Amino acid sequence: MSDTPDDSAQIAPPEPARTGPDVIAAYLKTLPATPGVYRMLDAAGDVIYVGKARSLKARVSNYVRLGGHTNRIARMIAATASMEFVSVRTEAEALLLEANLIKRFRPRFNVLMRDDKSFPYILISDDGRPAQVLKHRGARNRKGTYFGPFASAGAVTRTITMLQRAFLLRTCSDSVYDARTRPCLLFQIKRCSAPCTGEINREDYDRLVEEAIRFLNGESQNVRKLYQELMQDASERLDFETAAAYRNRLWALAHVTADQAINPDGVEEADVFAAHQDAGQNCIQVFFFRTGQNWGNRAYYPKADRSLSAADVLDSFIAQFYDDKPVPRLILLSHEIPNRELLAEALTTKAERKVEIRVPSRGTKSSLVEHALSNAREAPGRKLAESSSQSKLLEGVKDRFGLERIPRRIEVFDNSHISGTNAVGTMIVAGAEGFVKGQYRKFNIKAEGTTPGDDYAMMREVLTRRFKRIAIAEPADASAPLTSIEAEPEDADEDTPALTDALPDRPDLVLIDGGAGQLAIACEVFADLGIAGIALIGVAKGPDRDAGREHFHIPGRDQSIMLEAKDPVLYFVQRLRDEAHRFAIGTHRAKRSKALAANPLDDIDGIGPTRKRALLKHFGSAKAVSRASVADLTTVAGISADTAQRIYDFFHDRAG
C-alpha cells in the first residue's frame, strides 16, 4: 500500500465561529461582581455593542437566560462570538468609559451620535497686546477669557459683530496688528477703536475690554446703565460727539440682547435637551444658555434601534455628548431617563463641581424645555423637506447625464498650486443631505515622477491614491454591492425601512474639474485599477470661463454636452464644483502659509529657540544669517565656533 497521500482527499472546511448564549456563558465563571464595561464582538472581531454594569457578572448572566429579550437584544446575542471586559471602581466611571468606547468603536447595536463636531467659542485674548476678540475651536491653550459654547459658527460671528459695534474691540490677527501704520477700514466705519496706531490709549481700550467681558458674563443691564450715565454726563458737558458714541453703543447692546430670542430669568448656565420620535427617526434638540443668554441650538439625529424609547435614546446620547465637551451646572431634560442620578454623579466627577439634571414640570425651566421640544418636533420636517429637494436634484443628475441609478455619493476632485509649488489635490463628498464635510480629503502631491505644475500627473496621483483603496477592498465587479458606513444589520426586521441616508464608502459618481484631458486620465486610472460601476464626468469651464456655459465630458461620447442655462441641475453641479474650488484653494493657502512661516534655522542641528532668537535679533532675518561669515556668526551670544561653522556649512552646502 502506498504511503503517498490521496490527492483526491478533500480538506474539511474550517468550522464557523461559535456564537450565541453558550459563548457568553463561558465568561461567567471568571467575571467579578464589580462595576465595569463590556464589549461584545462578532465573528469578524468587530465591536457590535458596548455596555456598562454595576455588576459585570449579574449583567452578563442576563444575556445567557433564554427568552424575554427584545428582537434587538436577541439579534445582538446571536451575533456575539467573544467578549472583552474592563473593571472600574464605580458605576459612574463605567458610564463615562462606556460613552467614550461607543464614540470610538461606533457599535451597530448602540445609540450613535451622527454629528459630533466641536463647538465654537469666543475668545478675548490676554497675551500682552491689546485684547483681540476672535472665534475659537479646539483646545483652550491660548491665554485669555473664553465664552461659550455657541451652537454654530454663525452665532459666534453675529455676536462678535455686535461686540465690535458696541465695544470697538479689534479682531485683526497679531501679525496684522503689529504691521499697521495707519487705522484700517474698521476704524473708519466705527467697528474698531484702532489701538494698533494709538487712536485710543491702552487704559481706555482695556476699559472697553472689561466692559465687553462684563457684558458676556451676563451683566448687560449694568453695562447699559453705565453707558446711559456716561452719555448723560457727556451731554451735560456739551460733548455731543462723545454722547453720540455712547448712544450708538447703547443701540448695539439693545440689538444684541434682542437677538438672543429667549433670555430666561433665573437660568444663568444650562443646556436643554428635548427628544422627539417620529416614524422611527429620533431628533434631539439641544439649546445652550450661558450668562443668562441663549447662545443658540442644534438638532441631532442619533442612530438607534426602533425598539428604543425616546428616554432610552436621550439617556445614551447625553453621556456621549459630554464625553469631550464642558459640562454646565444645570441640564434640563424633556424626559425622565433611566440613569439620571448616575449620570449626574458621573458628570459631577468629570466637571469637578456639582452638576444637576432635572426634568422640570412647571415654571420658566419647563417653558424652556417645551420650547426645545417644539423645535425637536419641527426639525425632522424641515430636514425631510431639505433632503427631498436634494433628492430631486440627484434624480435630475441621473436623468441629465444618463446614469444607471440615482447617485447616493458624489465625489468631486480638484487640484490647486501656484507654478507647481505647494501643490495639493482635494476631494469633496456630497450625498442626499448635502455636503459631507467630515469625509473631505486632501492629498499632498508627493510622487517623485510628478512634474511641478503638471495638472494631469497631479490628477493621476490623487485618483490613484483614492481608488487604490477601493480596488483592494472589493472585487472589480460593477455589480458588487455598495458598502455602507452605517449599514443596518443584515438580520434587521423586515418592517425596518431602508436606511436611505446612509452614505456609501464607494461613490456612484465622480466629477473631475477639467475637460476631456483630465477625464481621459481618470478613465486610465479606473482601467488600471479595475474599477467599474462608477460614473465619470469631466466638468470644463465654458468660453471665457463663464459660469452657466460649462461643457460636460462623458466617457464614450464624442461630443460634450451642455445644460440649459436655468436648469437647477446645472446650478447644483456648479455648487459642487465651487465647493471643490473653495476647499482646494483653502487647503493650498494653508499649506503655503505654513511653508512661508517655516524658518530654515529650524533645520540646523543644535539651533534651538534661544539661539534662533539670538541670531534673528542680531542679523534681522534668516536670509541675513545665511549671508554671514563664520567670524560674524561667532559674535552672536551663545554661538560657538563649532556652531557657527555648522550654520555656515548648512547654508553654503545647500546653495552648492
pLDDT score at 10: 53
Is 3.40.50.720 the CATH classification of the domain at 402-485+501-595? no
pLDDT score at 8: 45
pLDDT score at 150: 79
CA distances from 478 to 52, 71, 463, 527 (A): 43, 34, 18, 12
Under 8 Å CB-to-CB from 149, ≥6 apart: which residues?
Answer: 119, 120, 121, 288, 290, 295, 325, 326
Quickly list DSSP for 56-108: HHHHHHHHHSSS---HHHHHHHHH--EEEEEE-SSHHHHHHHHHHHHHHH--T
Answer for the pair 503, 408: CB distance below 8 angstroms, yes or no: yes
Q: Where do you find CATH 3.30.420.340 in the chain?
A: 402-485+501-595
Is 3.40.1440.10 the CATH classification of the domain at 21-105? yes
Environment class of 71 (CB within 10 Å of its CB; exposed 0-12, middle 13-18, buried 19+) = middle
Question: In one letter, which amino acid is 70?
Answer: T
**Topology of the domain covering 600-655:** DNA polymerase; domain 1 (1.10.150)
pLDDT score at 438: 84
pLDDT score at 510: 94
pLDDT score at 174: 86
Record the cell numbers describing residue 330, joined without a space.
444645570
pLDDT score at 499: 31
pLDDT score at 474: 64
Record the cell numbers describing residue 319, joined without a space.
453621556
Among 614, 654, 652, residue whose Cα is nearest residue 634? 614
Answer for the pair 221, 291: CB distance below 8 angstroms, yes or no: no
- pTM of the full predicted structure? 0.59
The residue ranges of the chain whose pLDDT is under 70 are 1-17, 115-117, 218-224, 249, 251-266, 279, 384-388, 417-422, 447-453, 473-502, 542-548, 588, 591-598, 653-656
- CA angle 63-69-74, nearest 5°? 75
Q: Where do you find CATH 3.30.420.10 in the chain?
A: 270-381
DSSP structural state of residue 335: S
Answer for the pair 519, 536: CB distance below 8 angstroms, yes or no: yes
Among 524, 545, 547, residue whose Cα is nearest residue 536? 524
Q: Where do you find CATH 1.10.150.20 in the chain?
A: 600-655
What CA–CA distance (Å, rounded) separates 536 from 543? 22
What CA–CA distance (Å, rounded) separates 214 from 139? 24
Question: Tens digit of pLDDT for each residue in 305-323?
Answer: 888 899 999 999 998 898 8
Q: Where do you find CATH 3.40.1440.10 in the chain?
A: 21-105
User: What's the CATH number of domain 270-381, 3.30.420.10, 3.30.565.10, 3.40.50.2300, 3.30.9.10?
Assistant: 3.30.420.10
- CA angle 384-385-387, nearest 5°? 65
Answer for the pair 450, 457: CB distance below 8 angstroms, yes or no: yes
What CA–CA distance (Å, rounded) separates 50 from 108? 10
The β-bridge relationship of strands 409-418 and 509-513 is parallel
Among 149, 18, 30, residue whose Cα is nearest residue 84? 30
